[in-house]
């Protein structure tokens, strides 16, 4: 049985990935930071629907490395590592403190890299090890007022480019799914008018559904996706990339 760890399984895109992988027979470690209830509900639903698979909830605040050793010890078998956690901040760069930047870097780049180092041998043992980041179109295109966020998302792409070359012969693939605008909690900050304005700029004419992003992560996790590595796949409705 295959096991995936989904960081940010309590978020909208992470939950959508969890639902699709569970339906395909995966056992899951479902990570959350504050939203324990969402993960508890997912586990409840999955245990009923898929009684022969395993489901575990794991908590960890990724803005600090304090609890990393304990977190690492809670993961046993692992075939896929999926990073769907992340937040953004809307500030001009001149209003972004070094602490803000450090937190974002820690959560979306530094700790993911520490986890990957710790789990490399487990993923190699799988023969079909998979590392998937949910990046952002802003990592390849850039967004004013989100310079720090664009920087960490660009770093995820740069990391995947390079690390894919180091672990290709171990059967581990490393890719980024980079969404445009997705209809999730993260975008609830926009007014209805702003939401409509953004949607009007997108050739497909609307925000993505979380399931439409999860779909690509799930394809990359498949055993048959072993020849796709070091890539950033832009899933943005034809918007920016």
**Residue among 59 and 228 whose Cβ is closer to ligand NAP:** 59
131 binding ligand NAP? (CB under 6 A): no
129 binding ligand NAP? (CB under 6 A): no
Smallest distance, ligand NAP to C-beta of residue 51, A = 26
Q: Which of 29, 32, 138, 149 is catalytic?
A: 149
- CA-based torsion, 93, 99, 101, 107: positive or negative: negative
- Residue 177 near residue 135 (C-beta atoms within 8 A): yes
Q: What is the CA radius of gyration of the chain?
A: 17
187 binding ligand NAP? (CB under 6 A): yes
Is 234 noted as a catalytic residue in this protein? no
Give the interface size with ligand NAP as a residue count (CB under 6 A).
27
**Residue among 62 and 233 whose Cβ is closer to ligand NAP:** 62
Judged by CB under 6 A, the residue of 32, 46, 159, 239 near ligand NAP is: 32
Residue nearest to ligand NAP (CB): 11
Judged by CB under 6 A, the residue of 2, 4, 5, 14 near ligand NAP is: 14
Give residues with Cβ within 8 angstroms of 200, minimum separation 6: none
Residue whose token pair is 């390849």: 140
- CA-based torsion, 214, 104, 187, 29: positive or negative: positive
Binding mask 163-182 for ligand NAP (x = CB under 6 A): ----------------x-xx
Neighbours of 43 (CB within 10 A): 18
- Residue 83 near residue 132 (C-beta atoms within 8 A): yes
So which residues are the catalytic ones? Answer: 149
């Amino acid at each position: 049985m295959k096991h995936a760890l989904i960081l940010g399984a309590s978020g909208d895109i992470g939950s959508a990935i969890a639902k699709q992988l569970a339906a395909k027979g995966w056992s899951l470690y479902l990570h959350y930071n504050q939203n324990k209830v969402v993960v508890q509900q997912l586990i409840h639903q999955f245990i009923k629907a898929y009684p022969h698979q395993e489901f575990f909830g794991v908590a960890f605040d990724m803005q600090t490395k304090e609890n990393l050793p304990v977190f690492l010890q809670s993961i046993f078998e692992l075939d896929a590592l999926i990073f769907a956690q992340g937040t953004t901040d809307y500030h001009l760069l001149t209003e972004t403190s070094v602490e803000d930047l450090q937190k974002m870097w820690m959560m979306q780049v530094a700790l993911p890299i520490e986890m990957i180092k710790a789990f490399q041998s487990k993923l190699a043992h799988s023969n079909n090890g998979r590392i998937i980041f949910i990046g952002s179109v802003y990592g390849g295109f850039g967004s004013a007022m989100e310079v720090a966020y664009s920087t960490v998302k660009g770093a995820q792409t740069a990391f995947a480019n390079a690390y894919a070359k180091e672990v290709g012969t171990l059967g581990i693939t490393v890719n980024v799914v980079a969404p445009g605008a997705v209809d999730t909690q993260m975008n609830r900050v926009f007014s209805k008018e702003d939401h409509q304005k953004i949607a009007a700029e997108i050739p497909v004419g609307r925000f993505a559904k979380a399931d439409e992003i999860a779909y690509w992560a799930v394809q990359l996790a498949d055993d048959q996706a072993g020849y796709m590595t070091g890539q950033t796949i832009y899933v943005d409705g034809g918007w920016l990339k």
